[in-house]
Structure formats: C-alpha cells, structure tokens
Structure 1
Amino acid sequence: MSFKTKINKYFTNHAETRENHEDASLQTHYYKTTKEKGINMLENYFTHSQVYEINATSKEHGEISVFVKKGKKVFIVATVIMVRPYHTAIDFSVTTESIFPFDFGYSTKVIQQLYNKVNQELQLITLKENG
C-alpha cells in the first residue's frame, strides 16, 4: 500500500471495498453461498443487532442500506452479487457523518468489523479458490 493511500485512509470520511484495492482489508470478499443466502445473512445480522438499523433492502439489486444507531453516525451500503453458482461477492460502502471531512480511518474499521462477522457466518473463498 502506498504512502498516499495510507494517508488518504485517515483523512476521508468514506471507505469502500472493490476488486483490486491497494489495501488488502478493503478488497472484495467472495463466499461459497448464493446471493439469497448472503442477503438473508446480512439482513438477519443487521435486524438482530442493537447497533444497526436497516434503512432499505432491495433483494432484486442485492443491496441493503443501513444506519448505525449508536455512536458515530454511519451510513452503510452492502452489495451482494452472485458471480457464478456458489461464488458470491459481498462489498461494503461506508460513509461517516461528522463535522469534519475525515474520520481517522473509522469507515475502514467498520468494513473490517463487518467482514469479520460475515466470515464467521459464511464460508470465505480464499484467493487460490477464487481463480
């Protein structure tokens, strides 16, 4: 990861995952599941958590938008896309609202926490299997 990327991670209020991100913790995760099971897992987690509140769900588009109820004001969009049978990508986009235009890496930490939870619930496909 370049020095500029490290600096930008702390001086922004937004973080999102993508296929070939310089930061390995922000690369798209793939799971051995279907789109429906991935969305249902996330929906169930957000619904039963005291931290999150679901704003909207679009199963057709594979998206769930969520607010954080406690602590910092955070808006999350989770996207679930089935690449091929039992090979589903889950991406997150996180924006932190504050009076400052940066969150000192908080958005990235939220994504890492979400991926940790999903990794406990769904079978992660490693890079070797991802080919």
Structure 2
Amino acid sequence: MFLQALFMVPWMVVVLRIAGVRRALAHAAVLGPRSLDEEADVVRAAQRVVAAAARHGVVRGSCLPTSLALQRLLGRRGIATRLRIGASTDAGAFSAHAWVEWRGRPLIDGAGVRDRFHAFGDLPGPALPRER
C-alpha cells in the first residue's frame, strides 16, 4: 500500500494541475462493500502510508493532493470517504485546508481539524453509505 501511496500523491498533483478539481474528485472515489472492522483496519493503514508518502515521497503533497490520494486509495478498496475543504481566518490570516473524513471522522489530521477550519459543505462525489 505504501508504494501505491508514493505513486498516488504525485499522480493527484498532476491530475489537479491538468484536469482540475472536478475531474480529480471523480477520479478519487470508487465504492464497494466491506465490513466495518475490515474498513477500520484498511483506513488506519492507508492514512499512515499516505501521510508518509506525502512527507517523504519524490513530490511532497500539499493537503489537497494528499487528501485525494487517500480518498482514491480507500475508494479502490471499496471504502467510501468524503473530501472536505475548509477555511480559517486565524489571527486575521486566511488559510484553506483539505482533509478526508471516513464515517464522519477526519483522517490524517485528527478531529481538531474541524475546530480550526470551517468546511465549505459537501463536494460533488459518490453517494456515501449510511453509518452502521
């Protein structure tokens, strides 16, 4: 999975630059069935390897390509996620951030990301299954 993540982060950088956000979103999400326990194991492993690939890969990934890579990696394993993009004006300075949520839980960044950034709302993407 780490080798896939090493490839996926730079790939999403290229997709974003060439095709734009809309096509990158469509490219990142794929759905399929999986048990909750299996999903949790895969999610934990995927967020570790994608974060490592973004930090140590040939191309360092910012939050958006890293998030799209994580969404794609999980989607290819049948795990539905939601991409979030939010903004903050902490200390008067505007900043934006992208992150992935699985079953309402932020991945890689942790739960505090929702306190720091106000999400813009739902982005176009696949229909998510109801929580079990």
Q: Same fold (TM over 0.5)?
A: no
The structure that is strand-richer by fraction is: 1
Q: TM-score, normalised by structure 1?
A: 0.25
